[in-house]
Chains A and B, each alone.
Chain A
Amino acid sequence: MADAPVPAISVRNIHKSFGQHEVLRGISLDAQDGDVISILGASGSGKSTFLRCINLLETPDEGEITVAGETIAMKRNRTGSLMPADRKQVDRIRSELAMVFQSFNLWSHMTVLQNLIEGPVHVLKRPKAECIAEAEALLEKVGLAERRNYYPAHLSGGQQQRAAIARALAMQPKALLFDEPTSALDPELVGEVLKVMRSLAEEGRTMLVVTHEMAFARNVSDRVMFLHEGVVEADGAPEDIFTNSESERFRQFIGNFQA
């Protein structure tokens, strides 16, 4: 897997500041097809910002993003900061990188099924009947077939997040970006979402997962990246990094979770 020619996602030297505060100070990452990479870090370490830079929900100040061999064209505006050169390209690349959000972000005025077919029908312009059939299969898979005509407000948090994952899958993305997908859930609902994510990992989906779920990072992902103050502090296979990381900070970080 490591010597596949074109990485699914390749990110080079991302910098991002909010005002005076430099949140990301040069982060790079390569994800091959089928990689499941967990991104860990204390709150404020920049991990969510980093993930949001990959699909340009945040515009990085510096750096280069390449998805399946296609580099996002950037230009500098008059003040010298980076901005996308081609909005259409950004939209297209976003449609290839589905995102799952911390607070689900389902469209409240649409049923679960409508949420699932919205992107495929209106962004990807695929035939509606086909999209509905696929969406129903996806809902079956995440255990929400019976809830397809419910509105998000009528679902539990866990069900909403599973619907949001199904919505992401409906785009047939090249990779999935998870932004703390279980952080907004009641503890008893976390399991059902992690179960779905685990099954996706087993299918060989390419996933970048910003998370606080140590068990998921350790048992499901192929690689773990630990961010600290905007840089990659530790990076490696979970079995290595969790047992003998050179980083004192990472050992402290996981220590907090085990305590």
Chain B
Amino acid sequence: MSFDVAFLLSTFVKLVAAVPMTLGLFACSVSLGAVFALGITYCRVSGGPLLSAFARAYVFVFRGSPLLIQMFLIYYGLGQFPAVRHSLFWPVLRDPFSCAVLALALCTAGYQAEIMRGGLQAVPSREIEAGRAAGMSGLLLFRRIIAPIAVRQALPAYSTEIILMVKSTALASLVTVWEVTGTAQRLISQTYRTMEVFLVATLIYLLINFIIVRLMALVEYRLSPHLRERPVSASDGGRQGEVHG
């Protein structure tokens, strides 16, 4: 196989045109998933036995079954029920993009909820107690002490989940959303040049994830000066100032 630079370039341009769709799927599903996950985490950690059981069941189902099947069930499955077709939700459920986002969000919510729960559990009870002893309670205690520590604890696992989600958007191609993978498949069916097209697609996913990994690392670095090495007293001035603004 000879290198056809012109073809690679034109493929790259065509696939890059589909990047906004991939990023749209990604951004919508991760943020919607985070909202669902917050609700599930709340049910799990501070709800009664019923809500907690619901949260466990949710996590079990959505972590335990293939995302592809979840997506097929939502896009192809739900439309079979007349009740769904006549419901308020039909405009959303007949649209491939919304269905893909919904499936991705429901699935990541299961994972994100577990990550959030882990983060919350890792908050040292001593630090919570110090907050209580200072007269904090409820939302103030959560906002100032529990959440900031939990977020820091959960961040590494959360980064992994976010990267997985970028890759999971490829599944949306199977419900006719023309994101990067779907567009690549269409190009292949037109050109039969599987290797080159998929290599370019891979490169694009790698680029996206490279940027996301760097961003997450930056956020992590910003939020965790307390986990870094103790500053050396002699060369303190500049570095401490920079770190703590």
State the A residues within 8 Å of B (CB).
55, 57, 87, 90-99, 101, 103, 105-109, 111, 118-119, 122-123, 149-154, 171
CB-based contact A95/B134 at 8 Å: yes
B129 within 8 A of A: yes
Least CB distance, A185 to chain B, in whole angstroms: 16
| A123 to B138 Cα, complex, angstroms | 12
Could you pull out 15 A-B pairs where Cβ atoms are within 8 angstroms? A87-B137, A99-B130, A101-B126, A101-B130, A101-B133, A105-B127, A107-B127, A111-B244, A119-B136, A123-B134, A149-B243, A151-B226, A153-B230, A154-B226, A154-B230
Contacts of B129 in A (CB 8 A): 57, 101, 105
**Chain B residue at minimum C-beta to C-beta distance from A105:** B130
Least CB distance, B136 to chain A, in whole angstroms: 6
For chain B, residues 107 to 159, give those with C-beta under 8 angstroms from any C-beta of chain A. 124, 126-127, 129-138, 140, 144-145, 148-149, 152
Known: A109-B152, A123-B140. A153 touches B227 (CB 8 A): yes
Contacts of A95 in B (CB 8 A): 134-135
**Candidate in B126, B148, B243 with the most chain A CB atoms within 10 angstroms:** B126
Least CB distance, B222 to chain A, in whole angstroms: 12
Interface residues of chain B: helix, strand, loop or mixed (majority): helix
CB-based contact B132/A57 at 8 Å: yes
CB-based contact A122/B140 at 8 Å: yes
Known: A107-B145, A122-B140, A123-B135. A149 touches B127 (CB 8 A): no
| A108 to B126 Cα, complex, angstroms | 10
Known: A94-B132, A122-B140. A108 touches B127 (CB 8 A): yes
Which of B144, B145, B227, B244 touches A149 (beta carbons < 8 Å)? B244
Our count of residue pairs bridging A and B at CB distance below 8 angstroms stands at 80
State the B residues within 8 Å of A (CB).
124, 126-127, 129-138, 140, 144-145, 148-149, 152, 223, 225-227, 230-231, 240-241, 243-244
Least CB distance, A103 to chain B, in whole angstroms: 6
Known: A95-B135, A108-B127, A149-B240. A122 touches B225 (CB 8 A): no
| A95 to B132 Cα, complex, angstroms | 9
Which of B127, B130, B144, B148 touches A122 (beta carbons < 8 Å)? B144
| A41 to B219 Cα, complex, angstroms | 48
CB-based contact B133/A123 at 8 Å: no
CB-based contact A119/B134 at 8 Å: yes
Least CB distance, A209 to chain B, in whole angstroms: 16
| A3 to B132 Cα, complex, angstroms | 33
Least CB distance, A15 to chain B, in whole angstroms: 22
Contacts of A55 in B (CB 8 A): 133
CB-based contact B230/A103 at 8 Å: no
Contacts of A154 in B (CB 8 A): 226, 230-231
Contacts of B130 in A (CB 8 A): 99, 101, 105-107
Contacts of A123 in B (CB 8 A): 134-136, 140
Least CB distance, A192 to chain B, in whole angstroms: 18
**Chain B residue at minimum C-beta to C-beta distance from A96:** B135
Contacts of B133 in A (CB 8 A): 55, 57, 94, 97-99, 101
| A115 to B41 Cα, complex, angstroms | 28
Least CB distance, B138 to chain A, in whole angstroms: 8
CB-based contact A119/B226 at 8 Å: no
CB-based contact A122/B136 at 8 Å: yes
Contacts of A93 in B (CB 8 A): 135
Least CB distance, B149 to chain A, in whole angstroms: 6
Contacts of B134 in A (CB 8 A): 94-95, 98, 118-119, 123, 171
| A218 to B148 Cα, complex, angstroms | 42
| A122 to B140 Cα, complex, angstroms | 8
| A107 to B133 Cα, complex, angstroms | 13
| A153 to B227 Cα, complex, angstroms | 7
Contacts of B230 in A (CB 8 A): 150, 153-154
**Candidate in A57, A101, A105 with the most chain B CB atoms within 10 angstroms:** A105
| A118 to B148 Cα, complex, angstroms | 13
Contacts of A122 in B (CB 8 A): 136, 140, 144
| A122 to B144 Cα, complex, angstroms | 9
| A93 to B132 Cα, complex, angstroms | 11
Contacts of B152 in A (CB 8 A): 109
**Chain A residue at minimum C-beta to C-beta distance from B230:** A154
Least CB distance, B165 to chain A, in whole angstroms: 26
